[in-house]
Structure 1
């Protein structure tokens, strides 16, 4: 798999199918090995004699002085290793080398090594260096999955790349209590595509017996009333110690307003992602992340990696009014309580034992076969009265048995209980996780709501696990709307099962089905990553009704459900105008005024053979080609002219669409050499006439709808100190949107 943003070629990255991207630099030979994880191939670096051996990339890669770059690789060997970035001048002279710390111990399992640094003054090119130091000759070391490019960070993280991973240094963290801070490189096996983790890890060492903590030095801005979530990987020294992450909010003067802690219930001494979430208080202006461990012994260490803070991961239903804390139970019981009865509630333990989302669930236990009432905190209704609401819980019985009534309790603005809408009592399913839903309508004066279950244990020592609680206003499962101004249709799909597969067809009047394009290509059994999906279809025909057919498959490709939406008709507008669209970059789409439609030709490859003694030649023909012809259009001002140039710049396959009744059908085309001419000799005349040579093409299959891939202004703020730095990094606003930096 290609690593996104990699400056290295796919052959150099994966060492498949050969080692042409690599060369020996010091005391070694190289060869193609097998058993890699990013493809079968790997780079075998074998020592000639005892001592350090180095291999490097054959090519050097353009870099910009002052920009932070990262390199990483997966390694396997009998000695510890390190990786480096070799900085070169434009003439190829070495300026310096930035080396990672040496791995703490050798490991024959694939493990991640990495380092990041700012390109020094004068640096114009860079190479990747791979290094290890065997004690004898003929010792092999194995490398693959190599990356060189901009420093990796999680999209949407309010923190910088160095605060997230400490690949440059430890400057994004400061000692708060009883600790020293350093970096180490343990030999840990991460997933091959876990690009944000591994390599250098922030390491806290207890100075004396007692509590230990470190505080992030960065203070990203936050919005009061907005919910934020943070997570990090924690590796505690023992399973019995309490390690934690804390989300803190501060006012504009730097005074701490609140601190919410997510304690890790570690099952061992591995690496565990711990989450925490909280709503920013009314006066909050900034936030910070703290990590630590309680009751440590002097010399004990805890490692930290991949620290992120942002808005919560959208694992619950879109539009749910419950906070993430009350939904996923990552830091406690999230405001849920037993309002009557003998049952108790607690967060499940340890980490990863029982969960659907995250690593924990709510555990309801009853020592006696009695009835108890479980209720959430109250949440404001937006919208409120008269709206149909749906509540959902995912539950699992792990001991004994239960019956339950499932409902919603409504409250007015004065916090008075109005009513409880609940189902009749039913047995809670006892095998595996079950999603149980209830639909209710908010009464006239309701402004708040709480989820409420009345639970009856059918035997002593009954235990019920519950996770991913949601309460949201019910909207159509599939809805479609037309947009004449963009010549597109928007298909909205709700309550999709995450982890299943999705196929979406556009169905024409004749019943013909065409796959609809998504961000990674045509939506044909594409994995579902969110329960809400909004699909913008820029290839829908104009002026004729179409419907959408949706198929949902299990992960094993078994058809599970179908949906439909439509019909919908996109207004074709002025019949004298036509659309030219880039399927992969719809931001370039343009409506143009047609001067003359093409006169078509269909070329064919033929060879004529005149046989002696025969009157007629023998003609050998290939398959006749598609349509070819010149489309003549006008642009009416400088903006249209610039927009048409921008559309044509990429050379991509385009979709040409005209209004119904104009004698042409929607067609994918390649555009040849373009002629732009004036319509008169009057110099200030804005109109231009264009001749666009069209050649019919097949619909692009693998092209996805390009965009920002979730990028936000916060990503720009977290990556650049000043506006001048942004201007130096990007040539155009589109480059900034797509994170295409100079060089």
Structure 2
């Protein structure tokens, strides 16, 4: 993949299809195509012609502006000798200008891909630059490899308030000052970074303890900060091989330069000497004017070295938009923050060591219960600007460790201005199916008068020794995950499911008080294992029963998994006049009509039989088929010309219909086919609009594959918004009925 902003061509950067397209020998070397590249299949192979310095360079010289800083980096490898990279400055006549800006030579040879790089300002008179790659060998036929080369303006972390010379040590160490017991230098180690980590350069900042004890350094010239804004500082730290405590601090200063705060985050290093990203965060105090980053070691031995790379100070990223939970309480990178144990026996601590368990960053909140029982933990109380009744969500992600926590609950707790406890919202119980991170969340209406809120997590430990990891906590105002709206006048329920994962499979079920599950109908038929194509799904359920409470259950799962995540809604109920019934077309709800019942059917259940009378026997031999469903005549009235026309429109296609009546009327919801109908007058003058109908009904199976053609909410406003002209409408719909049903051509 091409490196963004690279002045080099793709072939010169990646060595594909051949490095000879962009590179040439410079001194004591030959070049050829090597295999096993990182940025494409090939790499540059530089081979020594004799003992001594060997080098290659880019064929092209690239335009530069004097005084501006340029960066070069690459991935290199060489089992026999270390290497370095440099910027060879030239004028318009391709004469050397000043000296080559060389990187330090890598501290040791390494056959693994590792980063080399350097940066520096173009000297006066320079108009062009070549990239130079060099190594010193002790014999002929020694080999070094080069790949993934960048030349261009310095690549910085987006949003970093610190300058490039502080974020990276590619230029110098001048943007750092010693606070105590340390010396500063730059080093190039054979560190392997991911091929697309373009923020990591070749040089690292090396902090060496002058004597035994604590040592520290500070980035100078800190940026201005806004009081009340939360900031996060982070850097890669490489601890020394001998035990010591390495840390990073976010420090703030007042307008006079006096330090007013220091928030420290200590590295819990694994038993190795890699680079580990460590984060610290803080909210700028009311009198804060500037901020900076300090790093150091406590308990260091004389001569111990800690190395630092990619130093960043930036406004804290929102782990969830609008969340009032600060970064330290949401991410646990520097400890447990303001979380406390409210009740129970479990303990809470930051996970350890670095990288054991973490979703946001490298740590999480580790909950450990030595005995079975329920523990409740709570975040710090935070001010909320919420109107009573507004929907707020408490959420946190959980990952099982040892043992079992079951029926875990994440909820919000609220307090008013006097500090009185207003109770909790959200009580969904979550079962964690297995390894991985699982989101626990609960929505609820904020109590009237609430001015503070916190997240509570209820943790029932089923087994002694159970552990659980928590991360990415958030408390915020959101649209509800699920939303139900009953429409009694039109006999249906609107369902909205939000924040779905596109590409997963979903099933949606309607559940009645007797526990029966029925799949809800969507555009493609009954929604069972259908793909999610949008993060929000909005449906109209026209087959919801009348007069009884129902709720809905959403199940989603990854196509490659068997475990499904579930969501349950609240209950709703549709109430209509008991003398009325609904006749509905499941596929075209615009045709649904409500009519007055004159007389319910007297049911018959036909059966096919063959009767054989055997000579000499009293009883016949009867061969029977399966008894059929209900058949009978439904007598109804229409009370207006509009109702009469609507009923004709419903019956014309001959579709399977759903007949619904209120509970207690002696009939159940039923899918029916309607035979030859009779429409009669009820007497009176010719202008009398009432009609008496006889509808021969035959019980039918529920249509499974019939999809909802269009929602009842499809209106002229939607047509006007989508189609600029009548010609566009005519091009999309064959008939007026197709327009009514949003049934488009093709």
TM (normalized to structure 2)?
Answer: 0.65
- 1:447 is aligned to 451
| Distance (whole Å) between structure 2 residues aligned to residue 434 and residue 86 of structure 1 | 53
After TM superposition, list the pairs within 5 Å mapping 1:401-550 onto structure 2. Answer: 401-403=404-406, 404-423=408-427, 429=433, 431-475=435-479, 495=499
Q: Does 1:161 align with 2:164?
A: yes
Contact 2:433 2:563 in 1 (8 A): no
Q: Which runs of 5+ in 1 are unaligned?
A: 480-492, 504-510, 512-524, 533-551, 562-656, 667-743
Deviation at 1:73, TM superposition (A): 0.9
Counterparts of 1:661-676 in structure 2 under 5 Å? none
Report the number of matched residues.
518
Q: Deviations over 1:117-143 (max 9, x none)?
A: 011111110010000011011112110
1:76 and 1:470 mapped to 2: Cα distance? 44
Contact map agreement 2:170 2:201 (CA 8 A) in 1: no
Structure 1 residue corresponding to 2:224, chosen from 211, 221, 225: 221
Q: Provide the residue aligned with 2:50 in structure 1.
A: 49
Counterpart residue number, 2:113: 110
Q: CA deviation at 1:422?
A: 4.6
Deviation at 1:386, TM superposition (A): 1.8
> CA distance change for structure 1 residues 137 and 201 in 2, over 3 Å: closer, same or farther?
same
Equivalent residue for 2:128, pick from 125, 128, 142: 125
Whose RCO is larger (CA < 8 A, sep 6+)? 1
- 8 Å Cα contact 1:398-1:430 kept in structure 2: no
Deviation, 1:455, is 2.8
Corresponding position of 2:29: 28
Q: Give the secondary-structure state (helix, strand or coil) at the position aligned to 1:133.
A: strand
**Partner of residue 285, structure 1:** 289
C-alpha deviation, 1:50, in angstroms: 0.4
CA gap 1:495/1:281 in 2 versus in 1, 3 angstroms: farther
CA–CA distance in structure 2, aligned partners of residues 5 and 338 of structure 1:
50
Deviation at residue 401 of structure 1 after TM alignment: 2.6
Q: Is residue 7–residue 151 contact of structure 2 (8 Å, CA) maintained in 1?
A: yes
1:208 alignment partner in structure 2: 211
1:21 to partner: Cα distance: 0.5
Question: Matches of residues 50-89 of structure 1 in structure 2 within 5 Å?
Answer: 50-77=51-78, 78-89=80-91
Q: Deviations over 1:271-324 (max 9, x none)?
A: 10111111111111110000011100001100000011102234x322221111
Among residues 190, 193, 217, which one is paired with 1:190 in the alignment?
Answer: 193
Indicate the residue corresponding to 1:301 in structure 2: 305
Shift of residue 501 of structure 1?
A: 7.1
Q: Which residue is 1:591 aligned to?
A: none
Counterpart of 1:320 (choices 316, 323, 326) is: 323
Q: Which residue of 2 aligns with 1:615?
A: none
Matched residue, 2:340: 337
**Among candidates 348, 358, 361, match of residue 358 of structure 1:** 361
Show the counterpart of 2:278.
274
SS of residue paired to 2:303: coil
Do 2:58 and 2:131's aligned partners in 1 also have CA atoms closer than 8 Å? yes
Deviation of the 1:366 alpha carbon: 2.0
- TM-score relative to the length of structure 1: 0.65
**Superimposed CA distance per residue, residues 496-515 of structure 1 (whole angstroms, 9 cap, x where no aligned partner):** 76xx8799xxxxxxx9xxxx
Paired position in structure 2 for 1:13? 13
1:385 to 379, 383, 388: 388
Deviation by residue 1:62-103 (Cα, 9 ceiling, x = unmatched): 001111000011111121100000001122110121000000
- Give the secondary structure class of the aligned counterpart of 2:87: strand
CA distance in 1, matches of 2:404, 2:561: 33
SS in 2 for 1:219: coil
Partners in 2 of 1:219 and 1:173 — Cα distance? 11
Q: Deviations over 1:403-446 (max 9, x none)?
A: 44432110112333222235266655554332111111110100
The question of 1:235 aligning with 2:238 is answered: yes
Aligned 8 A contact 1:384 1:447 in 2: no
SS in 1 for 2:151: strand
Are the equivalent residues in 1 in contact too, given 2:280–2:334 (CA < 8 A)?
yes
Provide, for residues 633-669 of structure 1, a one-character-per-residue CA deviation record: whole Å limited to 9, x for no partner: xxxxxxxxxxxxxxxxxxxxxxxx9964799999xxx
- Change in 2 beyond 3 A, CA 1:293/1:428: same
CA distance in 1, matches of 2:730, 2:76: 55
Indicate the SS of the match to 1:110: strand
Distance 2:67 2:557 in 1: 48
CA contact (8 A) 2:71 2:154 kept: yes
Deviation (angstroms), 1:200? 0.3
Task: Specify whether residues 13 and 332 from structure 1 end up closer, same or farther in structure 2 by C-alpha distance, changes over 3 A only.
Answer: same
Aligned to 1:38: 39
Residue 178 (1) aligns with residue 181 (2): yes
**How many angstroms does 1:368 deviate by?**
2.6
SS at match of 1:120: coil
User: Offset at 1:494?
Assistant: 7.6
Tell me whether 1:139 sits opposite 2:146 in the alignment: no
Deviation readout 1:490-545 (Å, 9 max, x if unpaired): xxx98476xx8799xxxxxxx9xxxxxxxxxxxxx99x9xx99xxxxxxxxxxxxx
Structure 1 residues 559, 450: closer, same or farther in 2, change over 3 A?
closer
The alignment partner of 2:329 has SS state of helix
Change (3 A) 1:501 1:317: farther
SS at match of 2:266: strand
Give the direction of change, closer, same or farther, for the CA distance of 1:463–1:301 in structure 2 (3 Å limit): same
Matching of residues 644-659 of structure 1 within 5 Å: none
Aligned counterparts of 1:665 and 1:76: Cα–Cα separation in 2: 67
Cα distance, 1:382–1:259 mapped onto 2, change above 3 Å: same
Q: Is the 8 A contact 1:317 1:495 kept in 2?
A: no
User: RMSD over aligned Cα, in angstroms?
Assistant: 3.4
> How far apart are residue 448 of structure 1 and its match?
0.9
**Distance in 2 separating the partners of 1:244 and 1:420:** 38
CA distance 1:31–1:664, change in 2 (3 Å): farther
Aligned to 1:92: 94
